[in-house]
Structure 1
Amino acid sequence: MSSLLSPQHIRQWFYPGPMRVFTTEEMAKAGTQPWPVAVDSYVAVNLLVLLPAMVWTQHGRGWLTQALWWGMLCALSVSTLFVARSLWKRPTRARLNLYCYGATLVVLALIALLIREGHKDWLVRENVSIVVALVGVLSAWWMLTVFRVQQIEARLRELADQEAALRLQTRLAAAQIQPHFLFNTLASLQHWVDTGDARAAQLLRDFTAYLRATLPMFERELQSLDDEIEMVRRYLAIMQARLGSRLVFRIDVPGGLDVELPPGIVLTLVENAIAHGIEPQLRGGRLDIAARQEDGRFVLTVSDDGPGLTPGWTEGVGLSNTRRRLAAAFPHATLTLADAHPGCIATLTA
């Protein structure tokens, strides 16, 4: 009982409506659903259907009664739709109450005018119908506003869940950046240090720079292409230190391209090319990374001269995660793998 008598509940009787207020950014993000035009058609059809029924029920009560009722019904329908569209665009409690109290005042003014013009008897006969119509319209506005607020809130929650899933996928992808690569690099570094190999110092510098570049991936949703390529350079420097002359690579990516990608996307493609195209061959191989703008779209290719795609090959976890993260960030982006004869080429278009 105390909750029913709380100031918040009591206020709803005099100032009803949802408490939630959306910012301009939230409306732009989740409130862009178009007005359902089927509602307009539904109202128009009902007006046509009600016309003969109303003429029949009002027969014998005078042309004024029939005209007033039909005119009020049409005006009520048009104004109700106008207000409903406004509430759909901006479903706020203040706007709802402005329209509700405004409509009530208009009806009271019309009643006063009709009484002044000598139609008090007609008003006495039709008072129940007038009250029912007014309450019905106000209730429809209230329900529309509540529904619209709940719709936008649901869309905001859905978008928030999608963003959270994308962040989680980014962190999982970053955590899956080939742990064996890290262990193998540390093992090589330890061996070179133990044997006094001069390559240890440079490998340690490249490995430190690589970790410095990759650790922020856990916190970013997108990163610039320049940062991504720098991370790839550090990775390739480490792999070249380990593989020596077995790895030859070329990076043809113009600096300053205004492109952002989910972190680790290019790195995953490069790792995949080395793991399946370079390392399995005793002679090693060549890796080429290129990027360009083509017809207003960004195109990046990662190719190797290895054995190519094996018959019946399937995507691994890393490539599947890459495809999902890319689709979540850029719905129209594509990622394809094809035989390059020799080797394999991965093409990313965004």
Structure 2
Amino acid sequence: MSTRPTKPRNFLLDWQQWCYPGSRRVFTADEMARAGGQPWPTGIDQYVYVNLVLLLAINSSEIMQSRQTWIWPAVLVTGWAVLGVAQWLWQGPTRKRLNIALYGFFAVVFTLSLAVGRLGWRERVIDLLPLLLAVMTSIVSAWWVLTLYRVDQIEARLRELAEQDAALRLQTRLAAAQIQPHFLFNTLASLQHWVDTGDVRAAPLLRDFTAYLRATLPMFERELQPLADEIEMVRRYLAIMQARLGARLAFTIDMPADLDAQLPPGLVLTLVENAIAHGIEPQLRGGHVDITARRDGEHLVLTVRDDGPGLAPGRTDGVGLSNTRRRLLSAFPGATLTLADATPGCIATLTLPTP
């Protein structure tokens, strides 16, 4: 089914813009809260007031000679009112608001014209009519252009935020894809060897490995996942490593059953992988990995501790930890991840806010 491209509307032929001008774009409350938080540029106020004062100063002699000193406060009050309407349009650049401002302005001008006529100042108004029309046109045009500019500004910000979200999702998937691929190859190599030699450990390892893959594959599609799913993935990973390392690896997992939280997928798994790679495997005797999770007020505190040699002098974060920190801060700006010597071993502490 073919579709014809839509032609842009010709402004001059769009009668609605003559009677009911403004942008047709309507922002939701969520969109305004997300992309419409730019403050009113106070430089506009300064520019308008400075020009009004200069204009009054240039014409001060004529004002004094005509004894129309009321012009001074009238001009400043008008400028203040015009800027107030402009700020109102800035906060909500809708077509409805713009037309309320325009038709309200015309109504005020019409009412003042009638009042001036009754006071016998009709001739003076007629003399100033070209200037008044120019001022009215300037005010109306300024409100109109301001509204269109503000709509374009918010739309541009929404597009920018959408691109940032897309980049973050891509970054999350790439980071998840970097979770130690050599673990998969080593596990497959062990599994193949045990199958070839008829080792009884092959079947349990295959079950754990299948369950591990089933738990980790959704990581590539999720931005957040329940803590229980993360811990189950870690449990399968540790079971596989225990099958490979035998008595050299022991582990405990202490997580309350009622603890409910969301976190970026693979976060705890990366900490456990580091604990085994740097704390357990380098030691001939092996070691123990202890994982605990608890709620501390409005925060989730999760620790991964090993009894290995501890942090190496001059240690820097590798790819896994760097990705973990970046994903953690992207999802929870107030979260922290610290590594410290535990004497013996190393302890990684993850703290993130919970709803």
TM-score by length of 1: 0.90
Structure 1 segment 227-242 matched on structure 2, within 5 A: 227-242=229-244
1:112 and 2:114 correspond:
yes
CA displacement, residues 324-347 of structure 1 (integer Å, 9 cap, x when unaligned)? 111111112111222222211111
Structure 2: 5+ residue stretches without partners: 1-6
Equivalent residue, structure 2, for 1:277: 279
Q: Distance in 2 between matches of 1:347 and 1:177?
A: 19
Q: 1:304 aligns with which of 280, 303, 306?
A: 306
Q: 2:139 aligns with which of 129, 137, 140?
A: 137
TM-superposed deviation, 1:27 = 1.3
Equivalent residue, structure 2, for 1:60: 65
Residue type at the aligned position of 2:166: A
For the 8 Å contact 1:3–1:9, the answer to whether it is kept is no
Residue type at the aligned position of 1:77: G
Q: 1:19 aligns with which of 15, 21, 24?
A: 24
1:125 and 2:134 correspond:
no
For the 8 Å contact 2:11–2:17, the answer to whether it is kept is no
Q: 2:293 aligns with which of 285, 291, 294?
A: 291
Structure 1 segment 121-200 matched on structure 2, within 5 A: 121-200=123-202
Q: 1:217 aligns with which of 212, 216, 219?
A: 219
Q: Distance in 1 between matches of 2:333 and 2:171?
A: 16
Count how many residue pairs are aligned between Structure 1 and Structure 2: 346
Q: 1:266 aligns with which of 268, 288, 296?
A: 268
Residue type at the aligned position of 2:28: T
Q: Distance in 1 between matches of 2:173 and 2:94?
A: 38
Q: Distance in 2 between matches of 1:6 and 1:49?
A: 36
Q: Secondary structure at the match of 1:58?
A: helix
TM-superposed deviation, 1:58 = 1.7
Structure 1 segment 38-77 matched on structure 2, within 5 A: 39-40=44-45, 52-63=57-68, 66-67=69-70, 69-77=71-79
1:31 and 2:36 correspond:
yes
Residue type at the aligned position of 1:17: G
Q: Distance in 2 between matches of 1:336 and 1:17?
A: 53
For the 8 Å contact 1:300–1:347, the answer to whether it is kept is yes
Q: Distance in 1 between matches of 2:59 and 2:235?
A: 80
Residue type at the aligned position of 1:22: F
TM-superposed deviation, 1:284 = 1.0
TM-superposed deviation, 1:223 = 1.0
Deviates more, 1:52-61 or 1:293-302: 52-61
Change (3 A) 1:4 1:29: closer
Equivalent residue, structure 1, for 2:80: 78
- Identical aligned pairs, as a percentage? 64
TM-superposed deviation, 1:94 = 2.5
TM-superposed deviation, 1:293 = 2.2
For the 8 Å contact 2:223–2:264, the answer to whether it is kept is yes
CA RMSD of aligned residues (A): 2.4
Q: Distance in 1 between matches of 2:260 and 2:38?
A: 31
TM-superposed deviation, 1:270 = 0.9
Deviates more, 1:138-147 or 1:231-240: 138-147
